[in-house]
Structure 1
Amino acid sequence: MSITQSLTNALSGLTANARMAETVSANLSNALTDGYGRRTVETSAQTVGGRSAGVRVDGIVRHTDRVLIGERRNADAGLARAETLGRALATVEASFSPADDPAGLGARLSAFETALTMAAADPASDQRLGLAVTRLTDVTTALSQTSRTVQSLRGQADAAIAQDVTALNAGLQQVQKLNVDIARMGQQGLDPSALMDQRQVAIDAISRIVPLREITQPNGKVALWTMGGAQLLDGRAAVIGFVATPTITAEMSFANGVIQGLTLNGVSAGPDGIGRLAGGSIGAAMDLRDRQLVSAQDGLDLIAAELITRMSSPLVDPTLTPAAAGLLTDDGSAYDPADIVGLARRIEINATVDPSQGGVASRLRDGVLAASPGPVGQTAQLLRFADSLTARSSIDPAAPAASAAGHIGRVADQFATLRLLADEAKSFAAARQDGLKAAELATGVDSDAELQMLLRIEQSYAANAKVMETIQSLIQRLMEI
């Protein structure tokens, strides 16, 4: 081997060593960076004229476990969905309050029943009659406030859908641009690993909104499809459309066309408003807005209907005519079974009984539509109101007969069960996501292995440097001869 050939070999070795050291350093400094893929330097033997010409650096290889990343992304979507559902359902349950909470609907109804009993013990007491009216107002206020909370949560879910759609479209555009840049760098012989890291982070963010699959394409590009089979990116990014509804009431729903669903490239995403884009945070928000919270409102409306119906019968209050509004009303009017949606928000005490609306509390004793005050010592009407609350009945054929408190307890249990299931789903999703994230990190940068590689690079560098030092000595000796 000639001196020139030996020098070429040593120089190429030093160049490769420097590139390897740079790569190891990058690996170590980005060991915990999201989206970073471990790099290695690919080398091969270089020959010129059939003779060894040192080492050639073929390029940088980025190592990732695509299957594991795909599973972790699905876990991210599941956790985002569970967290979104859990927060909303916990808010509903807290607003409704448990039965043993003085602010809870069940406790307020119990307080009204107690106030009725106390008034029946001394029907001539205006103070006790007024207290009973106040306690009944507390019941209607709790129903109305909880209904408003539910509709506020639906509005927040609608706004969250709009935010997710904006983020989803921006993310898809970013991945599309990175695809182009990565392909161009590859064609120019440059290392696109840093752009691939950015693309992985962008896809990770999208996967929390919509569960997806990543498909590798030529030139380093990727295509994105939802787990339901909708194409999000294949060359060009899809466009997801959505029109937010500023204010949502109980009467507004996707089914009646007042609230909007998603569109995919200008076409409705599906008959349920989301179709193959279901899952992730956007699917959870859609589920809350159109199903979970609607079901909660239905439960509140049935409670309101139960209370109104029990106290509006002429058998309970003989002063009432069949079409007249009873002790409890639908925004001042008689209850119409065909107009039950949103009733919990509209329920209020009859103005003729409520002193704050110009009425007199004594009508609680004499009858809501009593033409004149009756004997101050009569208790029959107060007891009939009390008995109507404890009677076992149900206006909903699907619900078992129960007292008014029993119906409230049943709906409260439904809220608690939904929240509990959401918490369990969140715990499972979080555990699965943590496990997959740990597994992904384990397949990433191993600091110990990188340090060992750095030692080998140092030894190789020293060997090549020694060769050059020896060549320099030889050349110097030749010059001296």
Structure 2
Amino acid sequence: MSITGAMNAAISGLRAASLGTEIVSNNISNALTPSYGTRSMDLSALNFGATGGVRIDGISRQVNESVIADLRSADAAQQNSQTAVDFFLQLEDAIGIAGDENGLSGRLASFEESLIAAASRPDLTERLSDTVADAGRLVDGIANAAQGIQDMRTSADTKIAQDVATLNTALEQVEQLNIQITANLSRGGSSPALLDQRQSVLDTIGAIVPINAVPRDNGAVAIYTDGGAVLLDITAATIGFDQQNVVTEFQTLEAGTLSGLTMNGQDIRTSALAGGSLGGNFEVRDTYGVAAQEQLDAFARDLVERFADPAVDSTLSTGDPGLFTDAGAAFDSADEVGLSRRLALNFAVDPEAGGEIWRIRDGLGATSTGLVGDSTLLNSLQSALETSRIPASGDFGSGALTTADLLSSFSGSLASTRSNAEQDLTFTSARFTELTQLSLSEGVDSDKELQNLLILEQAYAANARVIQAADEMIETLTRL
């Protein structure tokens, strides 16, 4: 090999060592960076006649696509489970747990205790006043819980809109990244940074909707959901959704009063994009929230019907509103939806509506006060709470229940459902954590990178020594 050939070979070695050192530095500094793929340098021998050395063919990116796909699936499942748990925890807060004096069970117990206390001394105005006040607190608790359910449904509708906007933006980004990556590969280049960015965007999509990223020619990918929808294949699909400012108990997806999803202007089943945060918010808005509202309305109906019975209050006629009313009027069984938010005390006994508290003792239809020592009606009202009857609506089974039993069934069912949701979240979180650790272990190996750095330093020193020796040879020749 000539002196010039040796110098050229050594220079190519220095160039490779320099780039290799930069790659090692980037790998170590990004060891914990999400979506970062370990870089390595691709080299081949240069050997044209007497000239040798190395040629830098490009920079490769190493990732375990199988682990990444499993991690995306686990992330979507965790997001879905977390959405359900958050809803049931908020609902439990709104309903209240056993022993919570501000919960529905606590308010119902206070009302019953007030009735018993008032029946023992019906002549005491303060006890009658306490009874009316506790009845009002029970009404307020039911109405607040119903409002809380609709607030959570409205929030879920807003989150759906946010997820759809994020999804559309991310799909457009993947489409553009596909174009850039394909262009780079067609020119013989590599695109590790673009591949990192695309993986990050795909991870964003995967948290919203479980997806499969399918390789296409020239480095591009297509995106399919687990439900079979094609989100991207050459061009990105456009997902449509119409957000509601406020969701009410009268609005449901089945009735067509709430928006579903469209894809490129065509209706699509929400189940096709289920499994991630998007599907979880649809479940809150259209399944969990609706079911909770139905149960609460059924409980409110049972409360209304118990006290509207003329057998309980002889001053009432059939069809008259009882102690608990539908916005002050008699309840119509055909108008049960939303009753829990409309529930109100009978105006005749509500001081805030111009009523008189003595009617809780003498009768809602009484025109004048009766015997102040007569506790007959108060005992009847308390007995109405403890009478077992079959609920006219709701999913409480077919058995006869007291008011307390009915509320206990509702709370118990809620606690059981929440517990099941938390178990699902525990499983999905554990799976996500394990796969995250596996993904990190499949990523940058810092020990190996440091070993590579030592090798590169030795190679750099060796090539530098070759150049120094060649320089000394040339200098010697020039002195001859």
TM-score (ref. length: structure 2): 0.97
Distance in 2 between the 1:365 and 1:459 partners?
99
8 Å Cα contact 2:20-2:41 kept in structure 1: yes
Question: Which aligned pairs between 1:305-384 and structure 2 lie closer than 5 A?
Answer: 305-384=301-380
Q: Which residue of 2 aligns with 1:236?
A: 235
Question: In the TM superposition, what is the alpha-carbon distance from 1:315 to its structure 2 partner?
Answer: 1.4
Distance in 2 between the 1:250 and 1:91 partners?
17
- Asked if 1:288 is matched to 2:284, the reply is yes
Question: In the TM superposition, what is the alpha-carbon distance from 1:418 to its structure 2 partner?
Answer: 2.3
8 Å Cα contact 1:76-1:433 kept in structure 2: yes
Q: Which residue of 2 aligns with 1:202?
A: 201
Question: Which aligned pairs between 1:23-62 and structure 2 lie closer than 5 A?
Answer: 23-49=23-49, 53-62=52-61
Q: Which amino acid aligns with 2:467?
A: M
Q: Which residue of 2 aligns with 1:247?
A: 246
Question: Which aligned pairs between 1:162-311 and structure 2 lie closer than 5 A?
Answer: 162-270=161-269, 274-311=270-307
Deviations 1:388-412 (A, max 9, x none): 1011112247343221011111111
Deviations 1:320-363 (A, max 9, x none): 21111111111111111221111111111111111221111111
Distance in 1 between the 2:247 and 2:474 partners?
87
Distance in 1 between the 2:298 and 2:377 partners?
25
Structure 2 alignment gaps of length 5 or more: none
Deviations 1:14-73 (A, max 9, x none): 221112111111111111111110000011112224x56221111111000001000001
The partner residue of 1:395 within 391, 409, 426 is 391
8 Å Cα contact 1:317-1:381 kept in structure 2: yes
Distance in 2 between the 1:9 and 1:376 partners?
114
8 Å Cα contact 2:83-2:277 kept in structure 1: yes
Q: Which amino acid aligns with 2:293?
A: Q
Comparing 77-86 with 323-332, which one deviates more in the overlay? Answer: 77-86
Distance in 2 between the 1:78 and 1:13 partners?
49
Q: Which amino acid aligns with 2:363?
A: G
- Asked if 1:143 is matched to 2:105, the reply is no
8 Å Cα contact 1:329-1:347 kept in structure 2: yes
Question: In the TM superposition, what is the alpha-carbon distance from 1:113 to its structure 2 partner?
Answer: 0.9
Equivalenced residue count is 477
Aligned Cα RMSD in Å?
1.3
Structure 1 alignment gaps of length 5 or more: none
Distance in 2 between the 1:94 and 1:384 partners?
32
Q: Which residue of 2 aligns with 1:456?
A: 455
8 Å Cα contact 2:8-2:51 kept in structure 1: no
Secondary structure of the residue that 1:61 maps to in structure 2? Answer: strand
Secondary structure of the residue that 1:57 maps to in structure 2? Answer: strand
TM-score (ref. length: structure 1): 0.97
Q: Percent of counterpart pairs with the same letter? A: 39
Question: In the TM superposition, what is the alpha-carbon distance from 1:6 to its structure 2 partner?
Answer: 2.0
Question: In the TM superposition, what is the alpha-carbon distance from 1:171 to its structure 2 partner?
Answer: 0.6
Deviations 1:455-477 (A, max 9, x none): 00111111111222222222222
8 Å Cα contact 2:238-2:264 kept in structure 1: yes
8 Å Cα contact 2:168-2:239 kept in structure 1: yes
Secondary structure of the residue that 2:107 maps to in structure 1? Answer: helix
Distance in 2 between the 1:384 and 1:198 partners?
71
8 Å Cα contact 1:45-1:52 kept in structure 2: no
Q: Which residue of 2 aligns with 1:445?
A: 444
Distance in 1 between the 2:223 and 2:99 partners?
50
Secondary structure of the residue that 2:260 maps to in structure 1? Answer: coil
Secondary structure of the residue that 1:53 maps to in structure 2? Answer: coil
Comparing 102-111 with 391-400, which one deviates more in the overlay? Answer: 391-400
Distance in 1 between the 2:172 and 2:381 partners?
64
Question: In the TM superposition, what is the alpha-carbon distance from 1:222 to its structure 2 partner?
Answer: 1.0
8 Å Cα contact 2:388-2:401 kept in structure 1: yes
